[in-house]
């Protein structure tokens, strides 16, 4: 089994910054894509940023130029640096990872428990 543990959420004023971290652990052969999704109250979960196994990245239009996703493959960890935060960025942020299991040999999709980000003055 694989676990994703997130950290770094909190309350920040508009214009501020936060850095989220997500570490994957457990029975891992290889971590392929990792990413961050977010869900605001009353809305569907949406992609914020993803990083594929080959290092390419993808961002939602609403966060381009403000958010940066990065990875430490040796630690199976993904980060999301969020700058110039806006009230509309307020949401629960979920880590996602597509992991090839060490015992199964096939890829499965995993989610973290979510971390709250609140942008408010």
Question: Looking at residue 65, what is its pLDDT?
Answer: 97
- Identify the pLDDT of residue 34: 97
Q: What is the pLDDT of residue 55?
A: 81
Task: Report the candidate in 121, 117, 120, 97 with the shortest Cα–Cα distance to residue 107.
Answer: 97
Mean pLDDT of 73-79: 96
**Residue 22: pLDDT band by 50, 70, 90 thresholds?**
very high
3-state DSSP call for residue 73? helix
Chain-wide mean pLDDT for the chain?
96
- Residue 98: per-residue pLDDT: 97
User: 41: number of CA atoms within 13 Å, CB side?
Assistant: 6
User: How large is the C-alpha radius of gyration of the chain?
Assistant: 14
Taking residues 38-45, report their average pLDDT. Answer: 96
- In sequence order, the 6+-apart residues with CB closer than 8 A to the CB of 105 are 29
Segment 10-32 mean pLDDT: 97
Question: What is the average pLDDT across 74-88?
Answer: 97
Coil vs helix vs strand at 53: coil
């Amino acid at each position: 089994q694989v676990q994703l543990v997130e950290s770094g959420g909190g309350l920040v004023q508009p214009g501020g910054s936060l850095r989220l971290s997500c570490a994957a652990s457990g029975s891992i052969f290889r971590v392929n894509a990792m990413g961050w999704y977010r869900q605001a109250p009353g809305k569907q979960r949406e992609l914020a940023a993803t990083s594929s196994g080959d290092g390419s990245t993808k961002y939602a239009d609403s966060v381009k130029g403000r958010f940066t996703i990065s990875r430490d493959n040796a630690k199976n960890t993904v980060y999301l640096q969020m700058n110039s935060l806006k009230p509309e960025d307020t949401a629960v942020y979920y880590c996602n990872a597509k992991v090839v299991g060490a015992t199964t040999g096939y890829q499965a999709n995993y989610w973290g428990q979510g971390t709250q980000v609140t942008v408010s003055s």
